[in-house]
């Protein structure tokens, strides 16, 4: 298992907080506004925020031309499909349930990593995957009867989650030798273009100035989500093993469920409370420090004792 540094733990905590409370914020944003238009405006306004960060931090913008095909593939799996599918799912589902379905991603990621990329997972990591999967099943308990009336929203969320899981695995293995913030900037630019075209194609007739509550949600997503959260996630996804960078943020759907209950009046059941314990267990399976190698002096002493024991009659 992987030991996280204090900086990585702090980034994960802030990421968990802002992504968790963003689910009901997104629901407010799309309740009275076309979902693809909401997402595309947020992305367009988020691009200069990321660009300013690159300028202040003196991070180069340039990506060598030979890496653009791989950058496009990373953008498609990490951003294009995720943002298009999940915002449509948020429109049709309760915000907490959309968060739960979206964060089946760690389960897909663990399975894809083990089966496709032959990643070796410790037993404790598989227990974490199992706990997370059981938590998702519990949180969806009251959605099962409603799925017959909302199959498209559920399917879109699962497609988004599985594609994002593949993107996380690809991002971990990318050979593009540029800073993560540079990758984040160009993936956001490309996604803004794609989402704007999708909104124009499918929602052009419904375009209008956003209402006040939608502007609040747009601003939060532009500045906090695209200006901070996505760049932080890409950094963690590149610097941590996939299982650590995915299961370690499983508290996000829990925050999504409870913040949706507080802000939007979405009803909670005993399954929600039980799932909290399971999600925390999943996180602990990744973040709990593993027993490291023995110090050299102690290791030499044990080897000497073993040799002595072998010489005894």
Summarize pLDDT for 237-260 with one digit per residue, the tens: 777 765 566 666 667 888 888 899
Q: Would residue 182 count as lying in a domain? A: yes
Position of tokens 């890409």? 234
Q: Would residue 94 count as lying in a domain? A: yes
Contact partners, residue 6, CB within 8 Å, separation at least 6: none
Higher pLDDT: 252 or 272? It is 252
> What is the spatial distance between Cα 301 and Cα 186, in angstroms, rounded to a whole number?
54
Q: Would residue 71 count as lying in a domain? A: yes
The answer to whether residue 123 scores a pLDDT higher than 60 is yes
What the block records as the tokens of 136 is 């998702």
Q: Would residue 225 count as lying in a domain? A: yes
Give 242-291 as a DSSP string: HHHHHHTTTHHHHHHHHHHHHHH-PPP-HHHHHHHHHHHHHHHHHHSPPP
pLDDT for 144 equals 63
Q: Would you place residue 34 in the very low, low, confident or very high pLDDT band (cuts 50, 70, 90)?
A: very high
- 273 close to 102: Cβ distance less than 8 angstroms: no
pLDDT for 64 equals 94
Number of domains the chain contains: 1
Q: Would residue 217 count as lying in a domain? A: yes
- 96 close to 142: Cβ distance less than 8 angstroms: no
Supply the Cα-derived Rg of the chain in whole angstroms.
Answer: 22
Q: Would residue 1 count as lying in a domain? A: no
Task: Measure the CA dihedral 10/58/49/241, to 10°.
Answer: -40
The answer to whether residue 301 scores a pLDDT higher than 50 is no
Domain range for 271 is 6-311
Q: Would residue 285 count as lying in a domain? A: yes
Q: Would residue 18 count as lying in a domain? A: yes
| pTM value surpassing 0.75 | yes
pLDDT for 83 equals 96
pLDDT for 243 equals 59
pLDDT for 147 equals 56
């Amino acid at each position: 298992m992987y030991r996280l540094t204090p900086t990585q733990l702090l980034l994960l905590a802030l990421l968990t907080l802002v992504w968790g409370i963003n689910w009901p914020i997104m629901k407010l944003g799309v309740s009275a506004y076309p979902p693809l238009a909401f997402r595309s405006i947020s992305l367009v306004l988020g691009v200069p925020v990321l660009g300013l960060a690159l300028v202040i931090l003196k991070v180069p913008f340039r990506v060598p031309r030979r890496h653009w095909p791989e950058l496009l593939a990373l953008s498609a799996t990490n951003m294009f499909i995720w943002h298009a599918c999940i915002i449509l799912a948020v429109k049709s589902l309760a915000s907490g349930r959309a968060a739960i379905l979206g964060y089946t991603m760690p389960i897909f990621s663990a399975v894809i990593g083990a089966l496709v990329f032959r990643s070796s997972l410790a037993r404790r990591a598989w227990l974490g995957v199992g706990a997370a999967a059981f938590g998702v099943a519990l949180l969806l308990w009251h959605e099962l009867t409603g799925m017959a009336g909302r199959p498209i929203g559920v399917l879109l969320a699962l497609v988004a989650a599985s594609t994002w899981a593949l993107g996380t695995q690809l991002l971990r293995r990318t050979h593009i030798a540029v800073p993560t913030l540079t990758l984040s900037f160009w993936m956001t630019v490309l996604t803004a273009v794609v989402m704007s075209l999708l909104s124009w194609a499918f929602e052009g007739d419904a375009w209008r100035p956003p209402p006040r509550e939608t502007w609040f949600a747009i601003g939060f997503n532009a500045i906090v989500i695209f200006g901070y959260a996505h760049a932080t996630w890409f950094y963690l996804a590149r610097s941590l093993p996939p299982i650590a960078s995915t299961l370690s943020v499983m508290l996000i759907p829990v925050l999504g469920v409870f913040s949706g209950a507080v802000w939007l009046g979405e009803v909670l059941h005993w399954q929600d409370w039980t799932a909290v314990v399971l999600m925390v267990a999943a996180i602990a399976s990744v973040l709990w420090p593993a027993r490291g190698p023995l110090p050299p002096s102690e290791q030499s002493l044990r080897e000497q004792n073993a040799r002595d024991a072998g010489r005894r009659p």
